[in-house]
């Protein structure tokens, strides 16, 4: 170990020793002094205040600040030796039993009642009692022990609790941080002095010291605010720079054409566009007429009419001599878009066919399941420009799919696609095409500002006339089995009225679990999630006996999937038992009931999307969320929240509350640890908005941050190239 000044790049082995550095690197991926200094505490405990032990979940790896209440030694039944049971409490009535195996009289003397300590381990349950088996612990200073180096890092009133590993508990991290801080020279402050002064932010050195060893709650607040600002500012600078560059790049303008296909389409629409559709339509039309690429996010509730808005944009591009491609995540959705758009266009979409309009275009479907002859014909129509509108799945991205003049890319349900896939489609255009990405998953304002900050955002909040209300109810199958029986009877009643129903399961059945199935993993010994291939025959033989039941999931051959969906849409099936393959885009106005089995295994946004498949016609919709989750559990509370509102934006906020911030920003997709350590997209709305305002001003004045090299380097470190690629949503 060295006493020389340490910089952010100093290897930890020079500061904390080879063995400890190896543990930090192996378990927490902390290699340098900078890695450790930016490994911020997860929370802070105070002596005399309690950690809420009653809120701990079984299976959770925890560190708790607690006081020893009593100890007991008893012989073990299965093997020789004694068992030491130490009961610790948090001061609020919550208790944990810490168990230690073997004859450890020294530990009994050390863990005497009244001592406070940090206890770390995995929460288990035995005979209704919460336990930590053989936990790591460190006792806080008392009398002569206060001078002990082992507890020196806890001398302050606020005790940092770090994200830790079993082999590297929080107090080891705290000790290492103290060693590094003793010789640490902070980096040059990357934030311009004018921004620090305007926003009343402390310098970086003060922030980094106070975040680890806060001298007061006020000092900790200022440190956290400064470091959150750095994270928000780096992301916003990246997105504003990207937006600035996109605005400067050339694109072929696609202005509206009087008397063209778009006008003819508007004239034949059987209903009036909502005011929201008209406003968004004008925004998109103006973007398309500009000489730089449109990058716009269109978000709207399930059934708010996004497809019609996108189709009108596609027709404007076709009127201007270009082609438009719509990328859908599944063959079911691509085929449904194809049928729906052909129906909406009528003679306007059947160029070359009998009865076509004089200025008609063609609408082609390109999927992986097309036969060789059909594929050759479709690709020729696309390559020679006769197909103005091209719909497809990932098959559109393959080599050999060439466009005559690709002017607009529409990405439906954008969260189902990676950046590389969108880029592959954009690369098929001679000049950067206009891009419209659509989502039916409402996005909280801070997420839109942060994740989609390089896109203009349009929102459709009105539902078209004729959409019916959807009632949602939780069915507690374990507590009240009669409620589940009533659910099946309710479904039969709707079928008796001539309507149809969905039954949704989290799994397909035997074989490997696919992305489509997405069951929630659990370590608590619950039964496997219900599967379509198991549930469908049970329903056919039991509560739904005599009804016409179809099965739909992602492993069916494409032609079979299409046949099942067509049969359901045409009313030849009463009930469709499916996975989340029906989550997006499936439109059967006659379907009025959805029963979601094992509903607690789906996410909030997923459930909201699913129930949007019913109530699409004149009859009211009913969504029943069946669960075995216990009353009062977080899973049950989540389902109660979904049942209580159909406001997708409220649910999006709830979804955000229940997920790690890194998941929202794509850490799981990029396979890397989240770079957002402190910033909360839910709670830091004002800070993010202010950071965006400063970023817009700074980039407008200095687009490449040439006059701010330290800031440019800081942005590059926080939002590296891989992150920047992920953040590019257009």
Q: Please give the domain boundaries of the chain with CATH numbers for all domains.
A: 13-185 (2.40.50.140), 261-460 (3.40.50.300), 470-645 (3.40.50.300)
**Quick check: 568 and 588 in contact, CB under 8 A?**
yes
Residue 448's DSSP bridge partners are none
Instruction: Note if the pTM is more than 0.85.
Output: no
CA distances for 518 relative to 457, 504, 559, 688, angstroms = 29, 13, 24, 32
Query: Which residue from 530, 570, 532 is spatially nearest to 551, judged by alpha carbons?
Result: 532
Contacts of 410 (CB under 8 A, 6+ apart): 310, 313, 314, 324, 325, 326, 327, 435, 436, 437, 438
Q: What is the pLDDT of residue 449?
A: 63
CA distance 580 to 360: 36
Write down how long the chain is.
Answer: 730
CA 341 to chain centre: 30
Contacts of 18 (CB under 8 A, 6+ apart): none
- Nearest 5 degrees, angle CA 726-CA 728-CA 730? 130
SS3 string, 522-573, reads CCCCCCCCCEHHHHHHHHHHCCCCCCCEEEECCCCCHHHHHHHHHHHHCCCC
Give residue-wise pLDDT tens across range 28-43: 889 999 999 999 998 8
Unique residue bearing structure tokens 């590389």: 420
- Nearest 5 degrees, angle CA 610-CA 614-CA 620? 140
| Helices 275-288, 306-319: inter-axial angle, 10-degree rounding | 30
DSSP string, 270-305: SSPPPHHHHHHHHHHHHHHTSSS--EEEEEE-TTSS
CA distance 618 to 494: 14
In the three-class reduction of DSSP (H, G, I as helix; E, B as strand; rest coil), residue 93 is classed as: coil
CA distance 387 to 366: 11
Unique residue bearing structure tokens 């005979």: 127
Q: Write b or e for each residue in 157-184: b if 16 or more Cβ atoms lie within 10 A of its Cβ, otherwise e.
A: ebbbbbbbbeebbbbbbbbbbbbbbebb
Q: What is the DSSP letter of 355?
A: T
User: Residue 530: how many CB atoms within 10 A of its CB?
Assistant: 19
Q: What is the pLDDT of residue 661?
A: 46
Q: What is the pLDDT of residue 632?
A: 74
CA distance 171 to 137: 9
In the three-class reduction of DSSP (H, G, I as helix; E, B as strand; rest coil), residue 651 is classed as: helix
Unique residue bearing structure tokens 């808005």: 309
Give residue-wise pLDDT tens across range 223-256: 999 999 998 898 889 888 888 887 778 889 999 9
Query: Which residue from 679, 681, 629, 633 is spatially nearest to 653, judged by alpha carbons?
Result: 681
User: Residue 383: how many CB atoms within 10 A of its CB?
Assistant: 14
CA distance 24 to 358: 71
Query: Which residue from 439, 441, 445 is spatially nearest to 414, judged by alpha carbons?
Result: 439
Compute mean pLDDT per 10 residues along the chain, 730 residues long, and list them: 76 91 91 92 72 72 84 79 86 82 81 86 80 84 46 62 83 90 90 94 95 92 95 88 81 93 92 90 95 88 83 96 90 85 92 84 89 89 93 83 91 63 72 86 65 75 71 91 94 96 90 44 62 94 95 87 90 94 77 95 86 86 92 83 84 68 36 58 84 92 91 76 42
Q: What is the pLDDT of residue 719?
A: 59
CA distance 45 to 67: 13
DSSP string, 415-430: GGS-HHHHHHHHTTSS
SS3 content of the chain, % helix, strand, coil (to 5): 40, 20, 40
CA distances for 282 relative to 255, 276, 285, 286, angstroms = 12, 10, 5, 6
């Amino acid at each position: 170990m060295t006493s020389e000044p340490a910089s952010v790049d100093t290897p930890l082995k020079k500061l904390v020793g080879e063995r400890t550095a190896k543990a930090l690197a192996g378990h927490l991926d902390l290699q340098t002094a900078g890695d450790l200094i930016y490994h911020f505490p997860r929370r802070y405990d105070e002596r005399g205040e309690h950690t809420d032990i009653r809120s701990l979940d079984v299976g959770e790896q925890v560190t708790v600040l607690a006081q020893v209440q009593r100890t007991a030694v008893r012989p073990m039944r299965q093997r020789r030796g004694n068992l030491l049971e130490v009961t610790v409490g948090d001061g609020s009535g919550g208790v944990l039993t810490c168990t230690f195996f073997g004859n450890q009289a020294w530990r009994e003397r050390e863990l005497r009642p009244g001592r406070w300590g940090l206890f770390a381990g995995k929460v288990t349950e035995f005979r209704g009692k919460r336990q930590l088996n053989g936990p790591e612990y460190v006792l806080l200073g008392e009398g002569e022990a206060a001078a002990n180096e082992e507890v020196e890092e806890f001398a302050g009133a606020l005790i940092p609790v770090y994200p830790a590993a079993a082999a590297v508990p929080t107090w080891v991290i705290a000790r290492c941080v103290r060693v590094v801080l003793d010789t640490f020279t902070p980096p040059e402050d990357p934030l311009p002095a004018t921004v620090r002064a305007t926003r009343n932010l402390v310098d970086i050195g003060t922030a980094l010291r106070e975040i680890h060893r806060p001298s007061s709650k006020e000092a900790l607040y200022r440190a956290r605010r400064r470091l959150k600002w750095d994270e928000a500012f780096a992301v916003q600078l990246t997105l504003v720079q990207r937006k600035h560059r996109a605005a400067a790049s050339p694109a072929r303008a696609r202005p509206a054409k009087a008397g063209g296909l778009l006008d003819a389409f508007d004239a034949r629409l059987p209903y009036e566009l909502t005011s929201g559709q008209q406003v968004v339509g004008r925004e998109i039309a103006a973007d398309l007429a500009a000489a730089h690429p449109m990058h716009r996010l269109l978000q709207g509730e399930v059934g708010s009419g996004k497809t019609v808005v996108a189709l009108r944009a596609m027709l404007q591009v076709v009127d201007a001599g270009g082609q438009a491609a719509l990328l859908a995540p599944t063959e079911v959705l691509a085929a449904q878009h194809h049928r729906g758009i052909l129906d909406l266009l009528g003679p306007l979409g059947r160029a070359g066919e009998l009865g076509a309009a004089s200025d008609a275009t063609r609408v082609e479907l390109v999927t992986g399941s097309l036969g060789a002859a059909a594929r050759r014909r479709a690709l020729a129509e696309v390559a020679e420009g006769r197909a103005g509108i091209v719909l497809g799945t990932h098959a559109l991205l393959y080599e050999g799919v060439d466009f005559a003049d690709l002017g607009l890319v529409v990405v439906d349900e954008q969260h189902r696609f990676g950046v590389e896939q969108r880029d592959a489609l954009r690369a098929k255009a001679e000049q950067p095409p206009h891009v419209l990405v659509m989502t039916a998953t409402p996005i909280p304002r801070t997420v839109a500002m942060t994740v989609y900050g390089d896109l203009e955002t349009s929102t459709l909040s009105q539902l078209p006339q004729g959409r019916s209300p959807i009632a949602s109810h939780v069915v507690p199958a374990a507590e009240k089995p009669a409620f589940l029986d009533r659910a099946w009877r309710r479904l039969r009643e709707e079928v008796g009225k001539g309507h149809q129903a969905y039954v949704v399961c989290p799994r397909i059945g035997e074989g490997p679990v696919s992305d489509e199935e997405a069951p929630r993993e659990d370590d608590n010994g619950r039964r496997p999630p219900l599967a379509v291939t198991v549930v469908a025959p049970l329903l056919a033989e039991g509560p739904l006996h005599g009804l016409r039941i179809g099965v739909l999931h992602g492993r069916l051959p494409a032609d079979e999937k299409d046949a099942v969906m067509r049969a359901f849409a045409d009313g030849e099936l009463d009930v469709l038992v499916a996975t989340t393959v029906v989550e997006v885009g499936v439109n059967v106005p006659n379907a009025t009931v959805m029963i979601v089995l094992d509903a607690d295994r789906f996410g909030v946004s997923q459930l909201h999307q699913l129930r949007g498949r019913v109530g699409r016609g004149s009859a009211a919709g009913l969504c029943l969320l069946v669960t075995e989750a216990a009353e009062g559990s977080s899973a049950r509370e989540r389902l109660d929240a979904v049942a209580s509102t159909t406001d997708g934006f409220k649910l999006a906020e709830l979804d955000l509350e229940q997920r790690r911030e890194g998941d929202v920003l794509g850490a799981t997709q990029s396979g890397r640890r989240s770079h957002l350590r402190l910033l909360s997209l839910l709670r830091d709305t004002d800070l993010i908005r202010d950071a965006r305002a400063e970023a817009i001003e700074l980039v407008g004045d200095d687009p490449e941050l040439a006059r701010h090299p330290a800031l440019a380097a800081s942005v590059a470190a926080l939002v590296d190239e891989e992150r920047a690629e992920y953040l590019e949503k257009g």
